[in-house]
Structure 1
Amino acid sequence: MSERNTHLQLKARHFILILCIVAIMVATFAIQLTTPRHAQAAGTGYWHTNGNKILDSNNQTVRIAGINWFGFETANYVVHGLWTRNYQDVLNQIKGLGYNTIRLPYSNQLFDAGSTPNSIDYAKNPDLQGLTSLQIMDKIINYGSSIGLRFILDQHRPDSGAQSALWYTSAYPESRWLSDWQMLATRYKNNPMVIGADLHNEPHAPACWGCGNPAVDWRLAAEKAGNAVLAINPNWLIFVEGVDCYGPGGSTSGDCYWWGGNLEGAQQYPVQLNVANRLVYSAHDYPSTVASQPWFSDPTYPNNLPGIWDKYWGYLYKNNIAPVWVGEFGSLLQSTSDQQWLAALVKYLGTGATGISWTFWCLNPNSGDTGGILLNDWVTVDQTKQAYLNPIEFPLDTGSGGSTPTPMPTNTPVATATATNTPTATNTPTATATATPASTPTATPISGNSCKVSYAVNQWAGGFTANLVITNTGTTALNGWTLTFTFPGNQKVVQGWSAVFSQQGSAVTATNTNYNGTIAPAATVNPGFNGSWTGSNLAPTSFSLNGKVCSAG
């Protein structure tokens, strides 16, 4: 072979080699172009804000789309419904319905040494036996976190008996409010599924926004508590509700709206926190069946509603000032007006990642004037309500890591909350559910005054919640009990819990359920009910247990 031929052959081989390399590069690039990229699931890690958006740790936009599950704020000192269901089953159902967050109300009294969780069927919840209320909260949060649910803790009221206009009372001062928030911030610091603190539920007059008086200026108090929380857990979101009325200089004599829903003052007097990008404003909104408001009778209703929402809280979102979270809204949906209201609100909140965040009130069926997503059996879902919410739900990732527990099969419950009203603003009182007893044991006769009964009322126009504490002051256990009393006025029991209530005229009978029929010596049970009244709402003057008159508590 000549030298020239050899040279030509080498050049040909080099050319073929180059063609092969180019072909491989083109093929690789084509694969990269045609292979679908898997988007990272939204919700990872700790959350923060930017403008009107809430973002995850990867700066993906997320949206709170959840539900309220109440009970820790009541004298049951635990979420309701555990008298008939397993808590993990309930959490699986919430997840299965498409909610991504639970707002968990509590009272400061929950953390007192004497606040014992009650109305739990331990046969259905054996791992809760012997736990404190806070330890049960841990259980709920830990399991919920493992299946991808987020949690917002809500200081719903200082004590378990009634709503409070201010974030403190004489029994639970501001210092206690702050220290409890610091305790919770420390306790859940390392769980990114606990996303933040709703500092106080539904502030209202004398609470003001921007008036400058530290005793009643909710904006200043929110800054104080928010900064105290962030000093311990700088990753939490701080949710700040509005007030009811706002006027010049932050006075309470101006425009009035729902309790906790008026955020007009945030434009002139914004909340300022020491950690940037942590503030979320929160509003509550309800329909006419909860309380009469002037906009419901406007001839342009319901077309006037978006303008109302823009004025009181929506402007913060639309002007890119801060994220807004509608922490409560709910209805029985039994009137055309209520249906129009909910349809308009859902449309206003919007769909997808750019929509306004929300948590529906509520899961519980025992919320008097709104009902819940769940019906009275605590299992069946109110599909009419759920159908309104499905379009505005927002899926997130599967949780905080580790294996995801296999959800237990269950129907998905929907719960609702009880809202209450005053002439100019309304609050949402927590209602409770009625447990269905199995066979009732024969009541143990008692002698003399070996029982004590206390009766505490939270009252509003036309309605009230009554909490009873029955104490066995004798030396032997009561196996089965029936409490009787007579209303002194025109009062009616509407819905009860932790007992089976019946009423004939003004005479009321409350009989134990299957889970609280035995009262040991010095032990207590805590039944209660929602009621209606006209004229006056005086307390009963005498209570009898198993036929014997009890002393007053």
Structure 2
Amino acid sequence: MSSRVRTAGLAILAATMAFAGAVYGVTRSASADVVAQLNGPQLVADMGAGWNLGNTLEANINGIPSETAWGNPVVTQALIDRVRASGFKTIRIPVSYLGHIGAGPDYTVNAAWLNRIQEVVDYAYSRGLYVLINMHGDGYKSVSGSWLICDAASQTAIREKYQKVWQQVATRFQSYNEHLIFESMNENFDGQYGNPTQPCYSNINAYNQIFVDTVRRTGGTNASRWLLVPGWNTNIDHTVGSGFVIPTDQYRASTIPAGEQRLMISVHYYDPWDFAGQEDGTITQWGAGATNPAKKSVWGQEDFMDGQLKKMRDTFVARGYPVFVGEYGSIDKTAYDSSNNRYRADYARTLVATAKKYGAATAYWDNGYNGQHGFGLFNRSSVTVTQQGIIDAIMSAVGGSLPSSSPSASPSSSPSVSPSASPSSSPSSSSGTGTCRVTSAVNAWNTGLTNSIAITNTGTTAINGWTLAFTLPAGQSIVSGWSASYSPASGTVTATNASYNGSLPPGGSATIGYQANHTGNAAAPTGFKLNGTTCN
């Protein structure tokens, strides 16, 4: 898939398109080994919902990167705070280098550009968010000045340049903790859709290996931080097969447990394209809740999405390599169908829930453009929310909640679209009386559902450690959960607090949730009891 590029009214980019002799300026000493604290499943859970700062640091004019080149304003701390306040815990920052790279053999990156990259990273990193930075547009044939071209003749020079640039970037950030993740490249391929070609795919594998070796050998936290690598064009089918090779990680910190990985696999998801990205008014609805078959694609529905992400689980997650769906989303087609935002929300909710089911983290593609054919969730100039319904759908799927120390992101503070609910969603439920209150909000599709449960201590004494018992309707079975442990998977279930949310002072609350399969009954659970006390 191409990068989703759009500035105010102007489509800038349409559908696009073992180096052993490198010299490393900084080497890793054993004393510099710093082990990331989270294993793969813990990392995915902690990353929560992700968001892309798209069409910004990868934007360029005539091959010279500039963050305002494609119509977006200069990034501010206020924007990042708004994104965080909306519940996102991870921000992916696409970056291009292009004409900011000097001549060989040093290939020095412009210092002012590196400084600005670091400044934008710090906006998010300083707020405790996960941050991903990559090499985004340098591999697009359609971008002026691109050079990371897998079927170019000068592969030796390309590899030398690639290694030098990543060495400089990694060195700049070597003291940052594991909340910073590097991504080797974006959607690299030969520009021709269809099956991968050789030796082009071999060159992409070589780039990934150079990236891993280079970052690791710069030392500091780089010796152990999580690194993200894609296959051919971040395409799922061509990553689970067709020649993708996971890089070796021979230079990683010796203190990383032998049975754990520190490499993640990157893919993107925009299927079906006629709904997600095609700029016409033909296909505007998606999913089991679509009301007009003529406006729904003939493929790429929930079952297909489930199958694609299951492939990633079976091929990589099962072997200890987390998966990151670094881009997904769908463009605004409300000009053709006023109900379109409902289906955009359904699409986002289902993608995030399915990814979570199969051990993958996600990041919504936001190109900063609101209106016809835009992906935007926020107005970056006014720092307001424009698509609260899609954000709510994402958060309901991932089990997210607003950070208590963040600025308010309530719909009353910004223009928004009414939250979308899937056709079979259940209303919040409550029953009984006591010193606790529980509400649950179910969002369901044909054979699955997610449920977000808010627990509030309405008593006068603190609760230190809790279990929440409830009964699932017949035919429901929990397949994954967050912010608590759940046992058994069906019938009367007990959710036990996580290490960070077991204390509930008077008036305090915790939000937990789960994804479940169902056989037709998507109703909310009943009979909530907190530490044996019936809740209302």
- In the superposition, the TM-score normalised over structure 2's length comes to 0.51
In structure 2, do the counterparts of structure 1 residues 396 and 389 end up closer, same or farther at CA, with 3 Å as the change threshold? closer
Residue in 2 aligned with 1:264?
Answer: 240
Q: Could you list the runs of 5+ residues in structure 2 that have no partner in the other structure?
A: 1-33, 104-109, 253-259, 288-295, 334-339, 417-536
* SS of equivalent residue, structure 1 residue 307: helix
Residue in 1 aligned with 2:369?
Answer: 365
Q: Equivalents in 2 of 1:366, 1:161: separation in Å?
A: 26
Alignment of 1:77-92 (within 5 A): 77-80=65-68, 84=73, 87-92=76-81
Residue in 2 aligned with 1:477?
Answer: none
Q: Equivalents in 1 of 2:125, 2:180: separation in Å?
A: 11
Q: CA deviation at 1:340?
A: 5.1
In structure 2, do the counterparts of structure 1 residues 262 and 155 end up closer, same or farther at CA, with 3 Å as the change threshold? same
After superposition, the C-alpha distances for 1:410-465 in whole angstroms (9 at most, x for unaligned) are 96799xxxxxxxxxxxxxxxxxxxxxxxxxxxxxxxxxxxxxxxxxxxxxxxxxxx
* SS of equivalent residue, structure 1 residue 371: coil
Q: Is the 8 A contact 1:78 1:136 kept in 2?
A: no
Residue in 1 aligned with 2:231?
Answer: 242
Q: Equivalents in 2 of 1:409, 1:298: separation in Å?
A: 37
In structure 2, do the counterparts of structure 1 residues 133 and 409 end up closer, same or farther at CA, with 3 Å as the change threshold? farther
Q: 1:227 aligns with which of 194, 213, 225?
A: 213
Amino acid paired to 1:326: V
In structure 2, do the counterparts of structure 1 residues 178 and 192 end up closer, same or farther at CA, with 3 Å as the change threshold? same
Q: Equivalents in 1 of 2:137, 2:371: separation in Å?
A: 16
Alignment of 1:138-537 (within 5 A): 138-158=118-138, 161=144, 166=149, 173-192=158-177, 195-205=180-190, 213=199, 216-232=202-218, 233-244=222-233, 259=235, 262-265=238-241, 269-274=245-250, 275=252, 277-287=261-271, 288-290=274-276, 297-298=297-298, 301-311=301-311, 313-316=312-315, 319-334=318-333, 335=340, 341-350=347-356, 355-362=359-366, 364-365=368-369, 369-375=373-379, 378-381=382-385, 382-393=387-398
Q: Is the 8 A contact 2:72 2:368 kept in 1?
A: no
In structure 2, do the counterparts of structure 1 residues 213 and 392 end up closer, same or farther at CA, with 3 Å as the change threshold? same
Q: Is the 8 A contact 1:108 1:177 kept in 2?
A: no
Q: CA deviation at 1:178?
A: 1.5
Q: Equivalents in 2 of 1:86, 1:241: separation in Å?
A: 27
Q: Equivalents in 2 of 1:333, 1:215: separation in Å?
A: 34
Residue in 1 aligned with 2:51?
Answer: 67
**Aligned residues between the structures:** 328
Q: CA deviation at 1:213?
A: 3.8
Percent identity, aligned pairs only? 18
Q: Could you list the runs of 5+ residues in structure 1 that have no partner in the other structure?
A: 1-44, 115-129, 245-257, 399-403, 415-553
Residue in 2 aligned with 1:447?
Answer: none
Q: CA deviation at 1:356?
A: 2.0
Q: Is the 8 A contact 1:379 1:413 kept in 2?
A: no
Q: Equivalents in 2 of 1:216, 1:181: separation in Å?
A: 19
Find out whether 1:47 has 2:36 as its counterpart: yes
Amino acid paired to 2:231: G
In structure 2, do the counterparts of structure 1 residues 161 and 214 end up closer, same or farther at CA, with 3 Å as the change threshold? closer
Q: Equivalents in 2 of 1:290, 1:162: separation in Å?
A: 29
* SS of equivalent residue, structure 1 residue 263: helix
After superposition, the C-alpha distances for 1:284-312 in whole angstroms (9 at most, x for unaligned) are 0014335679x98546844332123323x
Q: Equivalents in 1 of 2:401, 2:36: separation in Å?
A: 13
After superposition, the C-alpha distances for 1:169-217 in whole angstroms (9 at most, x for unaligned) are 6698222121111111100010116522111101224799998747844
Worse-matched range after superposition: 231-240 or 211-220: 211-220
* SS of equivalent residue, structure 1 residue 148: coil
Q: Equivalents in 2 of 1:222, 1:202: separation in Å?
A: 12
In structure 2, do the counterparts of structure 1 residues 376 and 48 end up closer, same or farther at CA, with 3 Å as the change threshold? closer
Q: CA deviation at 1:234?
A: 0.7
Q: Is the 8 A contact 1:167 1:200 kept in 2?
A: no
Q: Equivalents in 2 of 1:163, 1:368: separation in Å?
A: 29
Q: Equivalents in 2 of 1:227, 1:66: separation in Å?
A: 27
Q: Is the 8 A contact 1:92 1:407 kept in 2?
A: yes
Amino acid paired to 1:388: A
In structure 2, do the counterparts of structure 1 residues 106 and 384 end up closer, same or farther at CA, with 3 Å as the change threshold? same
Q: CA deviation at 1:48?
A: 6.3
Q: Equivalents in 2 of 1:371, 1:300: separation in Å?
A: 19
Q: Equivalents in 2 of 1:327, 1:87: separation in Å?
A: 22
Q: Equivalents in 1 of 2:85, 2:177: separation in Å?
A: 21
Q: Is the 8 A contact 2:277 2:330 kept in 1?
A: no
Q: CA deviation at 1:46?
A: 6.0
Q: Is the 8 A contact 2:238 2:244 kept in 1?
A: no
Q: Equivalents in 2 of 1:155, 1:66: separation in Å?
A: 18
* SS of equivalent residue, structure 1 residue 176: helix
* SS of equivalent residue, structure 2 residue 377: coil
In structure 2, do the counterparts of structure 1 residues 140 and 104 end up closer, same or farther at CA, with 3 Å as the change threshold? same
In structure 2, do the counterparts of structure 1 residues 105 and 310 end up closer, same or farther at CA, with 3 Å as the change threshold? same
Q: CA deviation at 1:243?
A: 1.2
Q: 1:106 aligns with which of 95, 103, 122?
A: 95
Q: Equivalents in 2 of 1:178, 1:107: separation in Å?
A: 15
In structure 2, do the counterparts of structure 1 residues 234 and 188 end up closer, same or farther at CA, with 3 Å as the change threshold? same
Q: Is the 8 A contact 2:134 2:182 kept in 1?
A: yes
Q: Equivalents in 1 of 2:161, 2:35: separation in Å?
A: 27
Residue in 1 aligned with 2:291?
Answer: none
Q: Equivalents in 2 of 1:136, 1:46: separation in Å?
A: 28
Q: Is the 8 A contact 2:50 2:362 kept in 1?
A: yes
Amino acid paired to 2:207: A
* SS of equivalent residue, structure 1 residue 67: strand
Q: Equivalents in 1 of 2:196, 2:301: separation in Å?
A: 31
- In the superposition, the TM-score normalised over structure 1's length comes to 0.49
Q: Equivalents in 2 of 1:315, 1:278: separation in Å?
A: 18
Q: Equivalents in 1 of 2:230, 2:199: separation in Å?
A: 18
Q: 1:95 aligns with which of 73, 84, 87?
A: 84
Q: Equivalents in 2 of 1:261, 1:394: separation in Å?
A: 28
Q: Equivalents in 1 of 2:299, 2:101: separation in Å?
A: 50
In structure 2, do the counterparts of structure 1 residues 413 and 328 end up closer, same or farther at CA, with 3 Å as the change threshold? farther
* SS of equivalent residue, structure 2 residue 93: strand
- The Cα RMSD (Å) is 4.6
* SS of equivalent residue, structure 2 residue 241: helix
Q: Is the 8 A contact 2:267 2:325 kept in 1?
A: yes
Amino acid paired to 2:175: N
Q: Is the 8 A contact 1:97 1:412 kept in 2?
A: no
